[in-house]
Chains A and B, each alone.
Chain A
Amino acid sequence: MKRCVRAPDTEPVRPRAVHDLEVFLTDTGQLLTTPLHSLHLSLGARMVPFAGYDMPVQYAAGVLKEHLHTRTRAGLFDVSHMGQVIVKADSGAYADAAAALEKLVPVDILGLKEGRQRYGFFTDENGGILDDLMITNRGDHLLVVVNAACKAADLAHMQAHLAGCSVTLLDDRALIALQGPAAETVLATLAPEVAAMKFMDVRDVALAGAACIVSRSGYSGEDGYEVSVPAAKAEKLARALLAHEACEAIGLGARDSLRLEAGLCLYGNDIDTTTSPIEASLDWAIQKARKAGGEREGGFPGADRILGQLANGTERRRVGLKPEGKAPVRAHAKLFADADGAKEIGEVTSGTFGPSVEGPVAMGYVPTAFASAGTQVFAEVRGKYLPVTVAALPFITPTYKR
């Protein structure tokens, strides 16, 4: 589909304004639904196609208020479209599953403790990013959570390359994110033990009569949880959480502005097969064990290029971009070194108005010489070259419970 933030000619004020979120729109065939679909409809959600699913982009409050509610109280997000995958070694040993997955990701998975999770990415032979994912040590197996749009490809990739392991999609479970400063209070009303969890801890927890897997993590920059729940019990759990006065349902629109303020990448926008993890400023996600001189140096697709970039640097980097004026600078805006638009240097990959920042925020790729915070560049917006300052990410201060 056309990636377009301007109104089409036929519809100057777009009654159903679309956004880059719909870049993964599959415009053929039936849309899939999540176990919370009827809940969304009953809450008056505005539904849009996203990654092949009919998903809520916003509820009655609208994106701006939903965003601010999540930063001040607690927001509940349906992220059931994402893929939850079990990787288990035929031997039954965690170490065998971890060693197998390490061949696909530049992440220390053998060193991941039981009940802990870590961010990572599948790389390709060119050092590009096939998808980003969360990886949990579940004792005798791995739980991997991948993006909805990449789910089928990721499954095939793992099934083809994880020798001696079974790879199973948990398509009978929903995934609910609960984010915001009141998330702990809200979830603890159902299970007080979640209050003791730290950022990136993962536990088995009974919630509203359902056997859930709870992680203390998320995609908003706020403290919070992600809850994997059996599909048949998902709506009951969601309604129990929404019954708390601090908790409101939040759509994909606010999910996008929250993650952008938090400096988190959206696969397909900010990272893809044309960006390496080092260009994407994700060096922090590659642990010492997998770097040059580490115990298990390299050994993942594209390791030569990625480790070479770690040693020698890259030509370009993903950076935060703070427009100096009030106009949002959105994805695909071209970046220039000068105010006349003579020297093009890069492109914005995500951009919006940040409700908590109370101004426009963006991220994109610039040559390394322009990547230091404070450097001024210019973004082309409707034929004008607007001044933009390279900024440290994130734009807000995360409140993770470390």
Chain B
Amino acid sequence: MLKFTAEHEWLKLEGDVAIVGITQHAADQLGDLVFVELPEVGATFDKNGEAATVESVKAASDVYCPLAGEIVEINDAITADPALVNSDPQGKGWFFKLKLANVADADELLDEAAYKELIG
């Protein structure tokens, strides 16, 4: 099940674990990324905690944790090659896997249609 946030993150839910990344729209708006900093495996975040940082030549931006949970895996490929986030943001450019504190929290997120309407 694919969910989205108004903060331009996507979540692919598999049981109680969500793969998290930023949307194509966000990647396009940020421009070519040159640096990505990911959280450590085992770190826990509240909803909207600052989980990762992405930087273009121009600016640094936070990526928030879309729901409360624990980081169980991170995608080292994007720290080695931040351009992966631009070329395949909703595939190889994923950020981290999050074990949700409460799976039902995902119900309040946007579905794809609602997100597309949001970004126009």
Contacts and interface: CB of A to CB of B under 8 A. Distances in A.
A7 interface: yes
Given A63-B56, A64-B56, A328-B55, A12 B31 contact: no
Interface string B52-74: 01111111111110000000000
B22 interface: yes
A330 B31 contact: no
A328 B31 contact: no
A16 B25 CA distance: 12
B31 to A, nearest CB: 4
A341 interface: no
Q: Is the interface of A mostly helix, strand, loop or mixed?
A: loop
Nearest to B8: A13
A64 B33 CA distance: 9
A304 to B, nearest CB: 41
Contacts of A355: 34, 57
A13 B37 contact: no
A353 B33 CA distance: 10
Contact of A63 (B9, B29, B35, B57): B57
Interface in A229-287: 253-254, 256-257
A14 B34 contact: no
A19 B22 CA distance: 21
Contact of A14 (B9, B35, B37, B61): B61
Contacts of A58: 31, 58
Contact of A62 (B8, B31, B64): B31
Interface residues of A, number: 32
Nearest to A64: B32
A63 B32 contact: yes
A350 B53 CA distance: 19
A6 interface: yes
Contact of A11 (B7, B25, B56): B7
A6 B58 contact: no
B101 interface: no
Nearest to A256: B58
A17 B56 contact: yes
A5 B32 CA distance: 16
A17 B61 contact: yes
A327 interface: yes
Nearest to A355: B57
B58 A63 contact: yes
A14 B59 contact: yes
A352 B58 contact: yes
Contacts of B34: 64, 328, 353, 355
Given A62-B32, A328-B55, A5 B60 contact: yes
A150 interface: no
A5 to B, nearest CB: 5
Given A6-B62, A353-B55, A64 B35 contact: no
B26 interface: yes
A169 interface: no
A12 B66 CA distance: 10
A294 interface: no
A14 B63 CA distance: 10
A17 B57 contact: no
A6 B60 contact: yes
Nearest to A358: B34
A257 B57 contact: yes
B110 interface: no
A105 B89 CA distance: 52
A13 B7 contact: yes
Interface of B: 7-9, 22, 25-26, 29-32, 34-35, 37, 48, 53-64
